[in-house]
Structure 1
Amino acid sequence: MTLHTKKKPSFKRNLLIGAISALAAGETWADGQIRGQLTAQLSGLPLQGSRVKIEELNVSAVTARDGRFVLSGIAAGDYTLSVSYLGVETLNRQVSVRDNETLISNFQIAPTTPNTEYLIVLGQAGSLNKALNRQRSADNVVSAVAADAIGQLPDTNVSEALQRLPGLSIERDQGEGRYVRVRGLGPDYNAVTINGVSLPSPDSGRRAVALDVIPSDLLEGLVVSKTLTPDMDANALGGSIDIQSLSAFDRDDMFYSFTAEGSYNDLTEESSPKLALTASDKFSIGSGEDNFGIAGGISWYDRSFGSDNIETGGGWDFDDDGALLEEVEQRDYTISRERSGLTLNLDYKPSENTDLYWRNLFSKYTDAEVRLANIFEYEDGVMAGEEGVAEIERELKDRTETQEIFSTSLGGTTRAGNWTLDYRAALSESGEDEPEHVSGAVFAGSDAFAGVSFTDTVQPWMYTPANFVDPAAYELDEVEWASSQTNDEERSFQFDITRDMFVGNNAVQLKVGGKYRQREKDNDVSVWVFGDFDEHGFSDEQRSFSAYSANGPDYTLGTFGPGINANAVAGAIAPLDKNEFYEEEDSRIEDFTVQEDVAAAYAMGRIDIGNLRVLGGVRYEDTDFNAAGTKYDGDEFSDTSASKQYDHILPSLHARYSLGENTQMRASWSNALVRPNFEQVAPFFVIDDEEAEFGNPDLEAMESSNLDVGFEHYMGIAGVFSAFAYYKEIDNFIYQTDLAGTPGFTEYDEAVTFANGDEAEILGAELALSKQLDFLPAPFNGLLISANATFSDSEATLDYYDEDDGAMSRTIVMPSQSDTTGNLSVGYESSSFSVRLAANYKSEYLLEVGDVSDSEEDVYVDAQTQLDLSARYYITDGVQVYLEAMNLTDEPYYAYLNDRSYNAQYESYGMTFKMGVTVTNF
């Protein structure tokens, strides 16, 4: 449950004072300490996620990214120190600890054969093994992806790499992965961080972070936390995705990796280049040895591709005679997407007890899109196979948008005996810029076209008269010229204090901390609509489509006709005075500024009792919200503003019980929240005759109470079977509604805004299995099988008003939630060759509620299965060539209106092939 409190300024102070007092109150032991590092013997690579344990005391630590571990507050004596890493036998060593001294005890994995080392550290099995070690050792439920696993499949960006994990699926844009869904919850309900720092969204009205902005080449790993501990930001109902960039201490020696790649899309027959370079090294400063590290990387990918589209947008009329098509569009997209990224990370260890870092990531994503469209609007709806009279328009949209993300954080860790202090200051910025462009150039048919028909309600194929392709049959009707800019900036300051101690014979860790986040987001839109060209001196020749026509696109879903010359359109309106065509309503109503400050404090404790580890605590978050927007009442504009202050208390409890060294059970109860999207709370209000649309600054944050139980069994190298069940109860579910007819809106025919629902529920299960089949005889012992599946069921209630029946409600599934998602991959690898075939599946899901009162207007996305292939050959230990194929079955995107028989959108992308070479030095 989530507890609400009134504003009490002293609460955070009292919480921290009480927690710090508890830290200091425990029994004090002598200041003995054990430090060490775990590495692989032949490669020297540090190994993260290993459990290091003092058997007699039942106290343990987990090796960090650099393979290091610290055990503090150990009484003088002789002990057995064990190190457990998946794929090798547990290492045991007898050690002696003395008062106020630090014992250094390093470990190296010593496999029986070199091939075992390869499987543990490199390749498909090694990548999966690293991730499983992190998963096994975590206090909460996590899934992870190691950096080298991202390269095992043709995943272009971060979101595509995440789709391979259990419980995760993605939403695609033009066939490329963009947004990530976690456990059936859409991208707006999940948090994204870079190196633990919150990442703001470059999209204008959303919180969801489009992860196609970030190149996958610059990462060290990805970690998805599906349950939240009190020291984590609470802003994630589904999960929190952490993007971890490079560090020089991730490897033992100098490292570099260079990749050159070319790709080919068979739909557009376009080729695209890619280059990426990452490198790191460690240096000795002062009296230290290898205590300063520099890691950096640069990535560039310029992809040219496209798609063919036929969509009705829900333009069906369902009557007693059947489904009548009223409107349909043919669309052809030509797209160029350029991704460039840069990372620079410095790590410095001035002493054994202090680690300092400065981490930076910059990414720039430029999406240039030319969209040609033919818009058919029937005078009277027609059924498939029937002819009708239709108005036809040809339309052009030509825009370039640039999204940028920048994150920098400066911080460190200082240890003093049993105490650990973590501190960080960070700045994150994101934004989207669309310079002035042709937002919509419309050429209308001079007369209606008779004899227009179509076949197939799923993939409509249009049949048109001969003059449909004649440029002389159309004339310039309207040009919409627009620009927009969005900025989202967040500053944060954080500190954490940890105390390790013993209570009786039980190892205990207490931790308190605080964080302050200051966020500001603004959106600025400008729109000009040029029309009435005959009144502005345009001749018949200047208005004729013939003056603007271009070669027709290579469209595969029917006859398309000529294209539109964007330069000719821009040149035609250039002499006109823009000020005469400025659309003040469209420009001002979408402008807003939102400030959101969040102050947080937490206290948590962890105790080990035999094979049971319990972690519990509470987080407090106070939110201060301020926003500014515009109201338009049909005659005048006025500035509007809104402010709100609210807080939450969020308790959680996590337990992990070990049935054996490689078998464990987990259970957790946690609470989380997600604040409304910016477009939902922006204080805009626009009235157009009897129709109104407005934001709702009084929306409450969505709150979720979560239960998770699960079982994990690890089976040697890259082997695991896990099963989890989860339940989420979400209060204040937010949806779009129509208040027309309700008190205060009785004079309106339509009053569209956002509202809080009572509650929503999600029940689900995750299954995962992977295994390196090393028990088979050669050469079959190189086979690797990995599979996972997630099953979920959800329910949410929408309230609405019916003028005849009054207050009504209906039940829907949660938007963006697929009942079933899954992955299956079969791989094979030897020391010189690797191949992997992977299938990704997600069942249908609700895309949007078209009309809150009518389920027939709901739009769904059909089930999708994508098949990808990757093959790699090592010419030498450091040089590999690879061939990859994406979307081998040319899987389309298909959205439909309530019933799969009726198209809302059909889009095809073709297959993409990649070939490249990677040169690596470890």
Structure 2
Amino acid sequence: MKKFTMLMAATSVAALSSAMAGDITGKVTDADGTVPLRGAEVTVEETGQKVVTGRDGSFRVTGLEAGTYNLSVTYLGAPDTAASVSLASADATSSVDIAMGGEGDVLVVTGQRGSLNSALNQQRNADGVVTVLSADAIAQLPDENVAEAARRGLGVSIANDQGEGRFITIRGINSQLNATSVNGVRLTSPESGDRRVALDVVDADVLKNIVINKTLSADMDGDAIGGAINIETISGLDRADSLLKLKAGVIYTGKSEEWGEKVSGTYANNYMDGRFGVALSGSYQNRQIENDNKEVDGDWNVEDGLLPFPEEELEFRNYDVDRERISLAANFDYMASENTKLYLHTLYNQFGDQEYRHRVEVKVEDAIDNGDISFSAPNAENQLVSFFGDDLEIDRDVKDRYEEQQIWSAVTGFEHSMDLWTFDGSLSFTHAEEAEDNLETNFDQDIEETLTINVASLSEPRLAMVGPNYLDASGYELDAIELTDGLTEDEELAIAFNVKRDVTFNDNPGFFKFGVKSRMRDKNYDLDFSAFDYEGDDDVTLDMFEASFDYPIDTFGPHADAGLLKDFFNANRNDPSQLELDEAGSLEEAGVSSFDAEEDVLAGYAMVQVDIDNLRLTGGVRVEKTDVEATGNVFDEDTETLTPITIEDKYTDILPSIAMRWEVREDIILRASYYASIIRPNFGQFVPAGSRNDDNELEAGNPDLERTEADNFDFLVEVYPTDSSIFQAGLFYKDLENLISPVSSDVPGTYNGLDYVEIETFANFEDAHIFGAEIGYQQALDMLPGMLDGLIVSANYTFASSEATLPDGDTIEVPGQSEHIANFILGYDKGPLDLRAAYSFKGENIDDVDVDGISAGRYVDDQEFLDLSGKFKITDQIRIYADIKNVLDTELKVSNRYEGVPGRFLSQYEEYGRTYQMGVQFKF
């Protein structure tokens, strides 16, 4: 730290003592001058200064004396281009426009080759380890949302929900350890207890780029361990001419056998002689989703000498979802002068789910306790466990839920350059919310008959025999109705200001940069919950509302129509002789779930960069001071009282970072970096809220949680065999302290004045380690003869080994960490045809940890997906397309594992089916 301080001081002196010098500005475009080229490297041959063009193709070189300078411009996919520029005086500014790919040279800027070139140039000239997916690459595949689009990158995978990608995973690391931004604005989360952002909200059609930073520098927010994801939307200054894209298509979901629709449009142009850019994007999608699900709630009994069997209940679920997604983006950029830019970037996303969930709960726990269980294994295909007696309960319930999520952000700011100085500032606001309206109706029956489960397949047990009562809708009586009306709001106001000063260190160009940022966040969840018990004199039974549907994965039996149930509730909700309010249960659920939290982060940083020939060094330190206050409620079932509790916490983190980029040769680059970072606890983990039942068992958050801290190391070699190919191989290591995980303990204690004998809460693991390697290859195979020169291939693989130390000293794999991640894409882009096949694989990972040692944990099993996409160009402006998603009909499988017991025991199984899309695209 002492050496770093001395370096900063020396840099400041150099900055203040530098004389005024001239500037060279310009823009790099394709040969026609219509498409700005981002990521091109511009080198001043006389001084060695190197700059990289921005998203609008612009560049600026400062600190030059009067004279003539030769510029060399390199861009993968195009031959090097030279330009000569003269400065009349030391305080002059000269501008030059440089077109890449002259007569006889073909520079591809659209389609698969264009997207490959764009991404490679941005990655090649980045200071750290970066994965870039450009808009054209995103548009080539049938990706519904941002999460699905991102999974094509090196070491990137996703976690699914309802058959769609939801959370981005980087290098197999738990998605909770990532950060997400749009146009540089950190997004807040609409999920009540979460920080991570479910990116199924944002439609893929409104994107410009997805940039995944796997390493951090001091000028970036320090709360990311897996990586920082930045979603970019289009700007009117990104092009030199107008752009209009329209897309209209239909979606057919094979599982539901229903049609949906999707439309999108993008307009971008600039006015006032190219000084004012306007970009508007919008998309609308509606699709019908149906999923079949089977779960085991609780553990399996795996005692020696017995057939294994569920200890509590077997569940069957059917989901029928009407999903609507709206995304809008509006960006305005204004060049007030040659040196001053003003901007306003906005994004709005709305995600609505009308979900009907039908569930059967086969409850066997009481029958087991009474010994009403028998075993039979006549052959390998039939391993039968039978339950009987008076205590076999079957519950059937229907959830009628409408959930709407909104995420919107707005950022306004400026960028101004003056001599050797560059200033920028921004004011941003982001808002996320989730409104949930849920009506859940429950029917139950104690059936006096034998029910048999076939456990020959531990991962897919099935009902082998049921009696007539199980299938008789008239035997199920209305028991209870629950009404949920919840609203989560999460918003953040951020103010940032940065100063950059170009300097030279012994004739080596570089810069000094510092800045400050204030983030003020407020998150709250307000739940209105009412639980009603049916108290009517006349029996209300399931057959009065009966409906039917297909459930191919087991014997579901009768279920109820959600619309008829809602009518019944609305007609009787205010009549206590029919529906009696459970005041204590309602108070408990509403009080324990509701909370309010405020979190303020004040950050400052200083960093320095220097180019020594082909070696670039970037170092800095960031300081973040966190001040958090949260209020929750603890409920005691003994006294039926709700007690509010407020906690406060303050802490400061010092986060150094250093990165090396060494261009060994023009086609070989070595990168090495270190950075320190943190992840603050999720709101649902640290808010002081909980509930103690009559048995003195407590479920609660842990306000004493520490933030997770990490030291991150990366090494990567990049080889560029041709102008349209890259080979990458690297290593990474992460040393984590205070990793957070749910835990349970049967050691008695006291929580905010409540004594307990058992607690379920969250705790910090002492330490954890992740070590991994990744390898990737991309190339346009234009060296092949004939029609084969249209082939494009991309493949990558990531391996990660992890270990976490539990509070009792045992070690496990890091929760959420996959050991293997792989992606493979084969494309063809020639003439009117544009085809792609994309395969992705995500290895298993621990989902939940059982620290009591009863099981080895709950695992999400391996998943592999194959998607196909095809486009045919009818004219230069019109294309038709057809896509198939989830060709392999991949299911979600989650299993329990037990120490010393072979096999994967069902925890959750879900089928999604295939999705088909077709439509037409217009581009003008």
For the pair 1:206 / 2:211, whether they are aligned, the reply is no
Q: Which amino acid aligns with 2:147?
A: S
**1:685, distance to aligned residue in structure 2 (A):** 3.5
- 1:343 alignment partner, one of 329, 332, 340: 329
Give yes or no for contact 1:768–1:789 (8 Å, CA) kept in 2: yes
Separation of aligned partners in 1, 2:820 and 2:536: 59
Percent identity (aligned): 36
Matching of residues 853-872 of structure 1 within 5 Å: 853-854=852-853, 856=855, 858-872=857-871
Q: Which amino acid aligns with 1:252?
A: A
Separation of aligned partners in 1, 2:636 and 2:889: 49
Q: Which amino acid aligns with 2:911?
A: S
Q: State the SS of the aligned residue for 2:208.
A: strand
1:566 aligned partner: 562
1:7 aligned partner: none
1:713 aligned partner: 719
**1:573, distance to aligned residue in structure 2 (A):** 3.0
**1:203, distance to aligned residue in structure 2 (A):** 0.4
Q: What are the Cα deviations for residues 93-126 of structure 1, in whole angstroms up to 9, with x where unaligned?
A: 3333332111212111125657x33xx3111121
Give yes or no for contact 1:717–1:772 (8 Å, CA) kept in 2: no
For the pair 1:722 / 2:728, whether they are aligned, the reply is yes
Q: State the SS of the aligned residue for 1:499.
A: strand
Separation of aligned partners in 1, 2:458 and 2:882: 38
Describe the shift of the 1:559–1:447 C-alpha distance in structure 2 as closer, same or farther (beyond 3 A): closer
Q: What are the Cα deviations for residues 888-908 of structure 1, in whole angstroms up to 9, with x where unaligned?
A: 110111010016531111111
Give yes or no for contact 1:501–1:508 (8 Å, CA) kept in 2: yes
Q: Which amino acid aligns with 1:553?
A: F
Q: Which amino acid aligns with 1:732?
A: N
2:803 aligned partner: 795
Separation of aligned partners in 2, 1:668 and 1:18: 20
1:484 aligned partner: 486
**1:87, distance to aligned residue in structure 2 (A):** 1.4
Separation of aligned partners in 2, 1:818 and 1:503: 44
For the pair 1:303 / 2:287, whether they are aligned, the reply is yes
Q: Which amino acid aligns with 1:368?
A: Q
1:394 aligned partner: 396
2:63 aligned partner: 73
**1:538, distance to aligned residue in structure 2 (A):** 4.0
2:342 aligned partner: 356
Separation of aligned partners in 2, 1:649 and 1:544: 63
Q: Where does structure 1 lack aligned partners over 5 or more consecutive residues?
A: 4-13, 800-807
- 1:776 alignment partner, one of 774, 781, 784: 784
**1:80, distance to aligned residue in structure 2 (A):** 2.3
Separation of aligned partners in 1, 2:521 and 2:450: 56
**1:526, distance to aligned residue in structure 2 (A):** 2.2
**1:325, distance to aligned residue in structure 2 (A):** 2.5
For the pair 1:266 / 2:254, whether they are aligned, the reply is yes
1:576 aligned partner: 573
**1:201, distance to aligned residue in structure 2 (A):** 0.6
Q: What are the Cα deviations for residues 411-458 of structure 1, in whole angstroms up to 9, with x where unaligned?
A: 0100001000010000000010002x21x3221125333143335321
Q: Which has the higher contact order (CA 8 A, sep 6+)?
A: 1
Give yes or no for contact 1:26–1:502 (8 Å, CA) kept in 2: no
Separation of aligned partners in 2, 1:449 and 1:403: 45
Q: State the SS of the aligned residue for 2:249.
A: strand
Separation of aligned partners in 1, 2:815 and 2:409: 30
- 1:108 alignment partner, one of 99, 108, 113: 99
Q: Which amino acid aligns with 1:84?
A: T
2:241 aligned partner: 253
Q: Using the TM superposition, name which of 744-753 and 727-736 deviates more.
A: 744-753
**1:676, distance to aligned residue in structure 2 (A):** 0.3
Describe the shift of the 1:63–1:896 C-alpha distance in structure 2 as closer, same or farther (beyond 3 A): same
Q: What are the Cα deviations for residues 771-795 of structure 1, in whole angstroms up to 9, with x where unaligned?
A: 1111111111111110001100111
Q: Using the TM superposition, name which of 451-460 and 209-218 deviates more.
A: 451-460
- 2:363 alignment partner, one of 377, 391, 407: 377
1:6 aligned partner: none
Give yes or no for contact 2:131–2:213 (8 Å, CA) kept in 1: yes
**1:20, distance to aligned residue in structure 2 (A):** 11
Give yes or no for contact 1:19–1:512 (8 Å, CA) kept in 2: no
Q: Which amino acid aligns with 2:262?
A: K
Q: State the SS of the aligned residue for 2:205.
A: helix
Separation of aligned partners in 2, 1:188 and 1:258: 35
Separation of aligned partners in 1, 2:737 and 2:422: 37
Give yes or no for contact 1:308–1:333 (8 Å, CA) kept in 2: yes
Separation of aligned partners in 2, 1:761 and 1:492: 33
Give yes or no for contact 1:617–1:653 (8 Å, CA) kept in 2: yes
Separation of aligned partners in 1, 2:763 and 2:622: 27
Q: Using the TM superposition, name which of 727-736 and 561-570 deviates more.
A: 561-570
Instruction: Say how many residue pairs are matched.
Output: 886
Q: Which amino acid aligns with 1:624?
A: D
Give yes or no for contact 1:548–1:565 (8 Å, CA) kept in 2: yes
Q: Which amino acid aligns with 1:720?
A: I
Q: Using the TM superposition, name which of 167-176 and 563-572 deviates more.
A: 563-572
1:828 aligned partner: 828
For the pair 1:60 / 2:50, whether they are aligned, the reply is yes
Separation of aligned partners in 2, 1:752 and 1:153: 43
Give yes or no for contact 1:717–1:771 (8 Å, CA) kept in 2: no
Separation of aligned partners in 1, 2:763 and 2:299: 26
2:603 aligned partner: 600
Describe the shift of the 1:21–1:54 C-alpha distance in structure 2 as closer, same or farther (beyond 3 A): closer
Q: Using the TM superposition, name which of 900-909 and 486-495 deviates more.
A: 900-909
- 2:642 alignment partner, one of 637, 642, 664: 637
Q: Where does structure 2 lack aligned partners over 5 or more consecutive residues?
A: 376-382
Q: State the SS of the aligned residue for 1:312.
A: strand
Separation of aligned partners in 2, 1:887 and 1:855: 36
Q: State the SS of the aligned residue for 1:902.
A: strand
Give yes or no for contact 1:260–1:274 (8 Å, CA) kept in 2: yes
Q: What are the Cα deviations for residues 510-535 of structure 1, in whole angstroms up to 9, with x where unaligned?
A: 0000000000000112222221x2xx
Q: Which amino acid aligns with 1:505?
A: D
Q: What are the Cα deviations for residues 46-67 of structure 1, in whole angstroms up to 9, with x where unaligned?
A: 1100100112211111111111
Q: What are the Cα deviations for residues 726-753 of structure 1, in whole angstroms up to 9, with x where unaligned?
A: 0000111112223442565796331122
**1:219, distance to aligned residue in structure 2 (A):** 1.2
**1:42, distance to aligned residue in structure 2 (A):** 3.3
**1:159, distance to aligned residue in structure 2 (A):** 0.2
Give yes or no for contact 1:408–1:428 (8 Å, CA) kept in 2: yes
Separation of aligned partners in 1, 2:806 and 2:250: 49
Q: Which amino acid aligns with 1:522?
A: N
Q: Which amino acid aligns with 2:260?
A: S
**1:601, distance to aligned residue in structure 2 (A):** 0.3
Q: State the SS of the aligned residue for 1:508.
A: strand
1:161 aligned partner: 149
Q: What are the Cα deviations for residues 150-204 of structure 1, in whole angstroms up to 9, with x where unaligned?
A: 1111110000011111121100001100001112321211100111111001100
Q: State the SS of the aligned residue for 1:105.
A: strand
Matching of residues 515-594 of structure 1 within 5 Å: 515-531=517-533, 533=534, 536-540=535-539, 543-550=540-547, 552-574=548-570, 575-577=572-574, 580-582=581-583, 583-594=586-597
For the pair 1:842 / 2:832, whether they are aligned, the reply is no
Could you say what the CA RMSD is over the residues aligned between the two structures, in angstroms?
2.1
Q: State the SS of the aligned residue for 2:868.
A: strand
Give yes or no for contact 2:340–2:417 (8 Å, CA) kept in 1: yes
For the pair 1:653 / 2:658, whether they are aligned, the reply is yes
